[in-house]
Amino acid sequence: MCIAAWTWQAHPAYGLLLLFNRDEYHSRPTRPAQWWAAAGEEGEEILGGRDELGGGTWLGCTKGGKLAFLTNVREPSPRDGARSRGELPVRYLQGRQGPLEYATEIAKEADQYNGFNLVLADVHSGTMVYISNKPGDAPVVQTVSPGCHVLSNAAIDSPWPKVHGTTVLMTRSVILYVFLDNSLLLLRSSYCSAKKKGSQDA
């Protein structure tokens, strides 16, 4: 099961913290994370892994601050001949559209793909959007609110046991990280103040 857990605009220093696990057959040819550009496409290079069968990716980002990641939606009967879902992140990352504009465009052609969940972000504009073509006939497009989120093979933040457990762990990790980060800053500040005072007394 592919699963992503992230915090969005919930940390004082880091706008995004992301954990992502891709669950795929070992026999499927895949290139490791590196900088690359889609064949015949113009636009920014993408940092991410690459599916050598479909030519797309499940997770990628650009130097311009764009990020996209994808999970498949579990379906009893996937369609043969559907377009590769891995192209969805690539098109966004190499294009000039923002997250919401691109998601609105994809919603018009979402029926050409098997079930997918797609998260699009622009860290510079502070925008994150989620789009899915399952369940139901009409695609779902929504802005992702600040906080901790988890995505697997169902809708975003669905209350699956694995999703719930991951959310709890992610939230605890962020709280611990913020506490330790702030504690280190406080200790450093106290040390610098004491050192400065000692120099003055000398």
172 has a pLDDT exceeding 80: no
Pick from 150, 144, 142: nearest CA to 173: 150
pLDDT tier, 178 (very low <50, low <70, confident <90, very high otherwise): low
CB atoms within 10 A of CB 47: 17
Cβ pair 170, 4 in contact under 8 A = no
Residue 6 corresponds to which tokens in the numbers above? 């992230």
pLDDT tier, 166 (very low <50, low <70, confident <90, very high otherwise): low
Task: Give the whole-angstrom CA distance, residue 17 versus residue 170.
Answer: 10
The 3-state secondary structure of 134-157, one letter per residue: CCCCCCEEEECCCEEEEECCCCCC
- Top pLDDT among 49 and 167 is at 49
Residue 132 corresponds to which tokens in the numbers above? 């899915």
Which has the minimum average pLDDT: 9-18, 55-64, 145-154, 185-194?
A: 185-194
pLDDT tier, 148 (very low <50, low <70, confident <90, very high otherwise): confident
> Tens digit of pLDDT for each residue in 3-21?
888 889 987 788 898 988 8
Q: Average model confidence (pLDDT) for the chain?
A: 82
**Does the model's pTM come out above 0.85?**
no
- Top pLDDT among 187 and 156 is at 156
pLDDT tier, 186 (very low <50, low <70, confident <90, very high otherwise): very low
Cβ pair 98, 127 in contact under 8 A = yes
Residue 187 corresponds to which tokens in the numbers above? 């200790």
The strand pair at 140-143 and 59-61 is best described as unpaired
185 has a pLDDT exceeding 50: no
Cβ pair 103, 119 in contact under 8 A = no
In this prediction, residue 187 carries a pLDDT of: 47
Q: What CATH fold (topology level) applies to the domain 3-201?
A: Glutamine Phosphoribosylpyrophosphate, subunit 1, domain 1 (3.60.20)
Cβ pair 32, 49 in contact under 8 A = yes
In this prediction, residue 33 carries a pLDDT of: 92
Cβ pair 10, 146 in contact under 8 A = yes
> Tens digit of pLDDT for each residue in 79-124?
888 999 999 999 999 999 999 999 999 999 999 999 999 999 999 9
End-to-end CA distance of the chain: 63
